[in-house]
Amino acid sequence: MIKNLKTNWLSIALTVVVIISLLLSGLIWTNPFQYEGPRHENLMRGNQQYTTQSMGDVYLPTTVVRTDRHNSQSILYSPEISLVREMKDSIRSWQFGRVTTVKSNNSDVYLSYLRRRNSIMLSYPNAIPTLVFNETFSQSINSDQVNQINHIVIPINGPREVYLLSDHHYGVYRLRVSKGNFNKIIKLSKGAKKIAVDHKIVNGQTIMTYPKSFSLPFFAYQVTNQNIDTLSTNLMSSNQRSNITTSKSGDRTVYTNGNNRRLSYNRSNGTVNYESYVGNDERHTTEQLYSYFYNRLVKTGVQLNNVRFDGTSDHQRSFTYRSFVDGFPIFNDNGYGTITMQSKDGTERCKMSQYSVQVPLPIDRQEVKLPPSNVILDELHASPRFKDLKGIRVGYLWKTSDNNKVVKLTPTYFVKYRGNWVNYEEVIK
């Protein structure tokens, strides 16, 4: 028998490996969290975090819209994969030709490209510089010809070309595609879930509306609580000899590092406000801020796998980054899931929370039905605050349990009221 074992040891070893592989595969397929896999791409080794989020990942478009041959538009989303990231990986292998200006300063022509038949459109929540687009998609578009981009329109029939759209002056720019396979983009769009949408230009502003009622899933997540001492050190340390002091008063802890750096932490709600005087010598241009703030995000140690750029304010000196789920933004009254960074007048500021959502919890895949956006707009129109509203979007409302360990994410409409995104129900009260 021993002789047989020695003779057949390789076959026996292979059989054992196959059995173990089958058992592990079974565990993976029956894991209730497996559908969340693509959303969580951070690697943890000991107490150190290694983020796989590149600058291009943080500055990705957040919305995918498909327009069919009948001009019907649908927003696409997927609980299994990140559609935008998969499309980005495909576009990075394409080779674009020179830029041609199709039209500018014509809202009717611009709207026709937003609704172009047989196309897939990737949209940013706010215009981004062409240099950032080049970084994300590994391209070399001349930023003197195209200064900023809001939408990327990819026709899926006809000539091999891509259109870059800029809401500023309604600019439409054509790029010939000399190398690239559109098949993966088309395949990804066909396998996604759909919600009917439509694009309009209202008061000179491009908006996306929801003409029909629709349903989105309800989510529950475990809250990740970043250690405040680690966060303060990440934000404030300038070198190994940095001397950080702390003082406490009520629910507030203040960390200081010399006369230039100060961080205030509110223990009752987990919010953090950081301020640093860097001097006018370190002022950055607007385009430089995109890479500078990305590097600052990485330095905080915050898990960035669900975080996306969500817009600018204060003359493009203040940037907002927000957590997303299935391509929809997350909002909270205390700013949970949101990071705001500012560089102005020689002072750098950061506002954020120590809380984030990372680990999904097994729940029944309940869905919440939302009405068409025109119903919401009619309700808002009756409010005296209507004149102060600047935009509308669908997202998820972050609600925490009493112990602040579980987050419930409920889909609803949000409106931009006096510069902030708030639940529409707060406006019509």
Are 63 and 118 contained in the same domain?
yes
pLDDT for res 52: 61
The pLDDT confidence band at residue 150, using thresholds 50, 70 and 90, is very high
- For the segment 254-259, the average pLDDT, to the nearest whole number, is 88
Are 78 and 187 contained in the same domain?
yes
Instruction: Report yes or no on 123 lying in a domain.
Output: yes
Q: How far apart are CA 49 and CA 304, in angstroms?
A: 11
Are 76 and 120 contained in the same domain?
yes
Say if residue 12's pLDDT is above 70: no
Q: Which structure tokens are listed for 365?
A: 């895949």
Residue with tokens 């006809």: 158
Domain C-terminal end among 353, 386, 418: 353
- For the segment 110-123, the average pLDDT, to the nearest whole number, is 97
Are 236 and 179 contained in the same domain?
no
Q: How far apart are CA 346 and CA 295, in angstroms?
A: 18
Are 163 and 295 contained in the same domain?
no
Say if residue 5's pLDDT is above 50: no
Are 203 and 234 contained in the same domain?
no
Are 136 and 278 contained in the same domain?
no
Query: What pTM was estimated for this model as a whole?
Result: 0.85
What does DSSP say about strands 338-344 and 406-417: parallel, antiparallel, or unpaired? Answer: unpaired
Q: Which residue has the higher pLDDT, 315 or 331?
A: 331
pLDDT for res 2: 45
Total of domains in the chain: 2
Q: Which residues of 284-309 are buried (b: 16+ CB within 10 A; e: fewer)?
A: eeebebbebbbebbbebbbbbbbbbb
Lowest mean pLDDT among 27-36, 129-138, 224-233: 27-36
Task: Residue 352: count other Cβ atoms within 10 Å of its Cβ.
Answer: 25
Name the phi and psi angles at 247, rounded to 5: -145, 145
Instruction: Report yes or no on 326 lying in a domain.
Output: no
Q: How far apart are CA 113 and CA 1, in angstroms?
A: 76
Say if residue 1's pLDDT is above 80: no
Are 266 and 150 contained in the same domain?
no
Are 285 and 340 contained in the same domain?
yes
- For the segment 306-333, the average pLDDT, to the nearest whole number, is 93
The pLDDT confidence band at residue 334, using thresholds 50, 70 and 90, is confident
Are 157 and 261 contained in the same domain?
no
Average pLDDT of the residues of the chain: 85
Which amino acid makes up residue 48?
A: Q
The pLDDT confidence band at residue 34, using thresholds 50, 70 and 90, is very low
Instruction: Report yes or no on 278 lying in a domain.
Output: yes
Cβ–Cβ under 8 Å, residues 356 and 288: no
Q: Which structure tokens are listed for 119?
A: 């196309």
Q: Which structure tokens are listed for 181?
A: 């396979």
Name the phi and psi angles at 226, rounded to 5: -75, 135
Say if residue 280's pLDDT is above 90: no
Q: Which structure tokens are listed for 356?
A: 């984030």
The per-residue pLDDT for range 373-403, each reduced to its tens digit, is 999 999 999 888 888 888 899 999 998 876 6
CA dihedral for 128, 327, 405, 215, sign (positive or negative): positive
Say if residue 18's pLDDT is above 70: no
Q: How far apart are CA 23 and CA 17, in angstroms?
A: 10
Q: Which residues of 21-50 are buried (b: 16+ CB within 10 A; e: fewer)?
A: eeeeeeeeeeeeeeebeebebeeeeeeeee
Query: Among 197, 207, 192, 86, which residue's Cα sits nearest to residue 151?
Result: 207
The pLDDT confidence band at residue 76, using thresholds 50, 70 and 90, is very high
Lowest mean pLDDT among 63-77, 162-176, 251-265: 251-265
Domain C-terminal end among 209, 238, 268: 209
- For the segment 287-311, the average pLDDT, to the nearest whole number, is 93
Say if residue 28's pLDDT is above 60: no
Over pLDDT 70: what percentage of the chain?
Answer: 85
Where in the sequence is the domain holding 242, given as residue range(s)? Answer: 227-309+333-353
Are 195 and 234 contained in the same domain?
no
pLDDT for res 210: 97
